[in-house]
Structure 1
Amino acid sequence: MTNVITFGTFDLFHYGHLRILERAKILGDRLIVGVSSDELNYRKKNRYPLISEEYRCHIINSLKCVDEVFLEKSLELKRDYIRQYRANILVMGDDWKGKFDHLKCICDVIYLPRTVNISTSCLIEQIRRNSK
């Protein structure tokens, strides 16, 4: 059995999120998703997600392509999460390209292209502009 693991914040869930999860699932038998905690997101982006970690986990867990969800509390624990969930493949968006190559000794690392012209940051900016 091939376990695929991926990670993300998945704030303001959109088509790009769905596409990377669907493409990750195709690579194996099971897809395990680490959803970044509110605190981890604050440390990464200096802002809290608009949607709570509880709701984001529920959304991701509701997708038919996802087999298991857990709360990711630290970027530094990726190796531990990979081992804990017996992942054979780590999938990340290509905006992280090269940043997880050091994990190739314990699993395959695949960087998938992001969906063009959509991101949570762009959506937030568009909402801000339209609300003025």
Structure 2
Amino acid sequence: MNSKCKKIVITFGTFDVFHLGHLRILSRARSMGDCLWVGVSSDALNMAKKGRAPIYSEEERLEILAGLKCVDGVFLEESLELKADYIKRYEANILVMGDDWKGKFDHYSDLCEVVYLSRTPSISTTEVIERIQTC
């Protein structure tokens, strides 16, 4: 790890059809530490979780996130069961997730602090996709 990263924050998501809600939660997560690592759900994981392929490929989503000034590093999340391994690998002190996941990651509190941040109201990838489809 980089020596500037004394307090490391990690988060996970699909980040498909990147929108303001994504940017806000990532910026808030980054403000909680010195470095922010973002796990991006692989295309296969997204299919398993949501039953559909993402609009943007995993390579495109990784590149979009890596280009944000609030993000210090990105990696591909290939399995939900590997979250503990990712937390350890990136030496995370804080796991940040949206509050729609509240309580679902508390079992990682023996590895790091678990924080749930409120989502931006009235913004979701599903809503954006539905808006586009009705245009």
Smaller-chain TM-score range?
Answer: over 0.9
Letter aligned with residue 37 of structure 2: I
Residue pairs, 1:1-132, within 5 angstroms: 1-130=6-135
The superposition leaves residues 57-115 of structure 1 with CA deviations (integer Å, 9 ceiling, x where unpaired) of: 00000000000100000111000000000000000000000000000011000000000
Q: RMSD between aligned alpha carbons?
A: 0.4
Mapped partners of 1:49, 1:88: distance in 2: 29
Which structure 1 segments of 5+ residues have no match? none
List, as ranges, runs of 4+ consecutive aligned residues in structure 1 with deviation greater than 3 Å. Answer: none
Mapped partners of 1:17, 1:59: distance in 2: 11
Residue 126 of structure 1: CA displacement?
A: 1.0
What number of residue pairs does the alignment pair up? 130
Which structure 2 segments of 5+ residues have no match? 1-5
- 3-state SS, counterpart of residue 121 of structure 2: coil
Letter aligned with residue 72 of structure 1: E
Letter aligned with residue 98 of structure 2: G
TM (norm. structure 1) is: 0.97
Mapped partners of 1:95, 1:39: distance in 2: 22
**Percent identity between the two aligned chains:** 65
TM (norm. structure 2) is: 0.95
Residue 129 of structure 1: CA displacement?
A: 1.4
